[in-house]
Every structure is written in structure tokens, then in C-alpha cells.
């Protein structure tokens, strides 16, 4: 066993990061494969923009509710069992999406899928944080979360649209999606174990069963919830509506649409570990404000870019770099460092859960209504409002990055 950094187990850190980053990437792949396939599903199932917003929204709401509940359970019983069961469940449910015969059956599948993915999120992010050395916590959690963007919003549009060329229909694209998740679930079961609790048993008993309500006494937890809501209201509306915006409003073909939409994932992937890693040095608060402002400005430019695939790709790459990158900072190191003792997964769960329910769930449903009744181009303005709101909320965050605090006071050491 390789141990560095004053007894820290670096080998376990790397193993945990690789497996759980891959697992979170598959969460993104299974979740977002529906968006680039939806123009084809609309024809077969008789669906519209309002149904697209509902399908994106119901998964987010279920994800959010379960993330809040299972984060608390993960703090009680450990991460391992929850991660394995959740990964098996959402992988199989993604495959079942290909057998849906109508809107209601697809809605039910997506809702239960959100329950499983919501359970996986706080447990896995907390596990990566516990396995990481404090000086690399932001980078590692950001890298894990970046796989959601890379595989779900970057590779999924390319994989889905290219598979449509070689399989009979969109049904088959979903049908094969369970295989990678089941393999990773098996590897997690064999290679990972729950990290030992940092406090001795007697100390945990003295602070027995920390109150879940203590989360609301942490200023950064509350602000992270609000900022995550704003970030998700921006990026998830973009992820849900841009494929149809490109096809129906800018009149790009399916291949060019898949290429442009992949910028969300590639930019988001780079942003999630890049900005989280940057926040280890520059600080969480400064990084948050800059990211929201950058996302808002670039989205404004995107909405005024014509049907030029390369120009659209570049600008959308920048949008997602900042917007999705901000999610990596908020739900990773900010939530982890703001958590009261014994409530790390709970803090991650409530931060991502609140964002999912309102930003990822209700916002796409509202955007679907806007698209259906006023025009899909106006959904970008709705997303812009969310990003501007996030910049304002981020101004009030308290700095918690160990390196940034150490620079302010030499007496502060990395914890």
C-alpha cells in the first residue's frame, strides 16, 4: 500500500477516484442520452416540448428528493452498499427506457431512475472527498463530477446520434446502455470499501447522531443550495432545450446538432475539474463569482450566434465550462467544507438535491412551457436569468479553501 502525505493512502485515493468518476460519468450518460434522441422520439411517441421538459424535470425532482434523503442515510450506514445498489438500478432503468411505449411509461421509468441516481450522488461524492488528501479535495471531487459532463453531455450526443446510423431505432440505443454500469458496479463491489470514520467511536457517541437540521445553521450550505439552484436552472435548461433549439430554430441537421451539443459536455468536463482545482488555490468564493459571470456573458453571446456549427460549438463550450464547472465547486468542496461534523454526505445531498428539485426539475418544465407557447429561443433568456442570480448569491459565500485560508493566516494549516 502506497502511503504519502503524512500517512495518507494515495493508492486508495486513486482507485476510489477512477471507479467513482467512471460511475458518475455513466450517471450522466444514462441521464442525458434522451436529449439528442428526443427529436426522433417525438415522432414515434407523439411528444412535444412540454413533454421533454417534464421528462427532464421528473428525473431531477426524484433525484433531488432522494439525494437529500440518501445523503443522510449514507452518513449513517456508509457509502458502499448504497453506491452498488444505485448503480445497478439506474443502469437497468436506462435500458428499460428503450421499451417505453408512451409518455406515461417513459415518465415513470425516468422518475425511478432519478431515485437511483440521486442515491448514488451524495454517497459517491462524499466517498471521493474522504479518500482524498485535503489539498487535492477540490480537484478530485471536481474531476469526479466532470465525468458527468464529459460522458452525459459531451459523449452522449455523439454516441447516440452515431448509433442511430447502425441500429434499427432509438429503442436499441437505450437497450444497450446498461452494460457499462453493471460492470462498474461489480468493480466497486470488489475493490472499494467504506473509509473509516475520522473520529473515534467515543467521540461520535458524544456527538451522537448529529442533527440534520444543523445543516441550515451553516451559511455556506444554504448559499450553496441557492447557487446550485441557479446554476442548474441555467445549464439544465440549456442541456434539455438546445438540441431542439438547434434543429427546430436554427435548422441544423442531426449530425451537426450532435456535434454542437457535445460542447456542453466537453466544456463542462474541463470546467468541473479545472474550476474546482483552481478554487483550491484561488479560493471558493472568487472562483464562484467569476464562473457565474463568465457563464452569463457567454450564454448571451450564444443566443445571438447564427447557424454556424463551429461558432456555436466554441461559444457553448465556454458557457458549459463556467456553468457546469460551477456545479463541481458548489456540490463538491464548498458543500464538503461547509458540512457540520458527521454530515458530509448530508450536506452534499441537500445542496445537489435542492438544485435538482428546483433548478433541474422545475426549471426545465417551465422552459418546456415557454418553448411550447412562446418559442424555444426564449428558453435561453430564462436560463440566463438563473446564471445572473447565481453570481449575486455567490458574493455572500464565506471562504473555506484550506490553501486560501493558509495564505491569509500563516497559522492556518491544511486540515
What structural domains and CATH numbers belong to the chain?
11-193+215-404 (1.20.1250.20)
Contact present, 87 and 123 (Cβ < 8 Å): no
Q: Can you give the pLDDT at residue 295?
A: 94
Q: Give CA angle at 9 (6, 12), nearest 5°.
A: 165
As a whole number of angstroms, the distance between CA 346 and CA 353 comes to: 10
H/E segment holding residue 8? strand 8-9
Q: Can you give the pLDDT at residue 60?
A: 80
Under-50 pLDDT residues of the chain: 1-5, 200-207, 412-415
Name beta bridge partners: 9: 3
Global confidence as pTM: 0.72
Tens digits of residue pLDDT in 135-162: 777 778 778 877 887 888 778 877 887 8
Torsion angle, alpha carbons of 219, 221, 227, 232, to 10: -170
Amino acid at each position: 500500500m502506497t502511503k504519502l502525505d503524512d500517512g495518507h493512502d494515495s493508492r486508495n485515493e486513486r482507485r476510489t477516484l477512477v471507479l467513482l468518476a467512471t460511475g458518475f460519468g455513466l450517471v450522466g450518460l444514462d441521464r442525458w442520452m434522451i436529449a439528442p434522441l428526443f427529436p426522433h422520439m417525438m415522432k414515434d411517441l407523439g411528444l412535444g416540448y412540454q413533454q421533454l421538459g417534464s421528462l427532464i424535470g421528473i428525473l431531477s425532482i426524484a433525484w433531488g428528493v432522494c439525494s437529500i434523503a440518501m445523503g443522510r442515510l449514507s452518513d449513517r450506514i456508509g457509502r458502499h452498499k448504497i453506491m452498488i445498489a444505485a448503480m445497478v438500478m439506474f443502469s437497468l432503468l436506462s435500458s428499460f427506457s428503450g421499451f417505453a411505449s408512451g409518455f406515461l411509461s417513459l415518465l415513470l421509468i425516468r422518475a425511478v431512475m432519478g431515485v437511483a441516481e440521486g442515491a448514488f450522488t451524495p454517497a459517491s461524492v462524499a466517498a471521493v472527498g474522504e479518500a482524498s488528501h485535503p489539498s487535492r479535495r477540490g480537484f478530485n471531487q471536481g474531476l469526479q463530477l466532470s465525468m458527468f459532463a464529459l460522458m452525459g453531455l459531451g459523449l452522449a450526443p455523439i454516441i447516440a446520434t452515431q448509433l442511430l446510423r447502425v441500429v434499427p431505432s432509438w429503442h436499441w440505443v437505450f437497450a444497450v446502455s446498461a452494460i457499462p454500469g453493471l460492470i462498474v458496479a461489480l468493480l466497486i463491489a470488489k475493490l472499494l470499501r467504506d473509509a473509516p470514520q475520522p473520529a473515534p467511536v467515543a467521540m461520535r457517541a458524544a456527538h451522537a447522531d448529529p442533527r440534520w437540521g444543523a445543516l441550515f445553521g451553516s451559511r455556506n450550505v444554504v448559499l450553496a443550495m441557492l447557487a446550485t439552484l441557479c446554476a442548474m436552472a441555467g445549464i439544465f435548461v440549456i442541456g434539455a432545450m438546445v438540441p431542439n433549439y438547434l434543429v427546430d430554430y436554427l435548422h441544423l441537421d442531426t449530425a451537426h446538432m450532435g456535434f454542437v451539443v457535445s460542447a456542453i459536455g466537453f466544456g463542462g468536463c474541463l470546467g468541473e475539474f479545472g474550476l474546482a482545482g483552481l478554487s483550491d488555490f484561488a479560493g471558493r468564493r472568487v472562483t464562484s463569482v467569476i464562473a457565474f459571470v463568465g457563464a452569463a456573458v457567454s450564454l448571451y453571446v450564444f443566443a445571438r450566434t447564427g447557424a454556424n456549427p463551429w461558432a456555436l460549438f466554441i461559444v457553448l463550450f465556454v458557457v458549459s465550462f463556467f456553468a457546469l464547472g460551477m456545479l463541481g465547486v458548489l456540490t463538491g468542496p464548498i458543500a464538503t467544507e461547509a458540512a457540520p461534523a458527521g454530515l458530509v454526505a448530508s450536506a452534499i445531498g441537500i445542496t445537489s438535491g435542492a438544485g435538482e428539485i428546483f433548478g433541474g426539475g422545475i426549471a426545465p418544465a417551465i422552459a418546456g412551457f415557454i418553448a411550447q407557447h412562446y418559442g424555444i429561443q426564449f428558453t435561453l433568456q430564462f436560463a440566463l436569468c438563473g446564471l445572473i442570480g447565481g453570481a449575486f448569491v455567490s458574493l455572500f459565500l464565506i471562504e473555506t479553501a484550506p490553501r486560501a485560508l493558509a495564505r491569509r493566516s500563516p497559522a492556518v494549516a491544511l486540515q
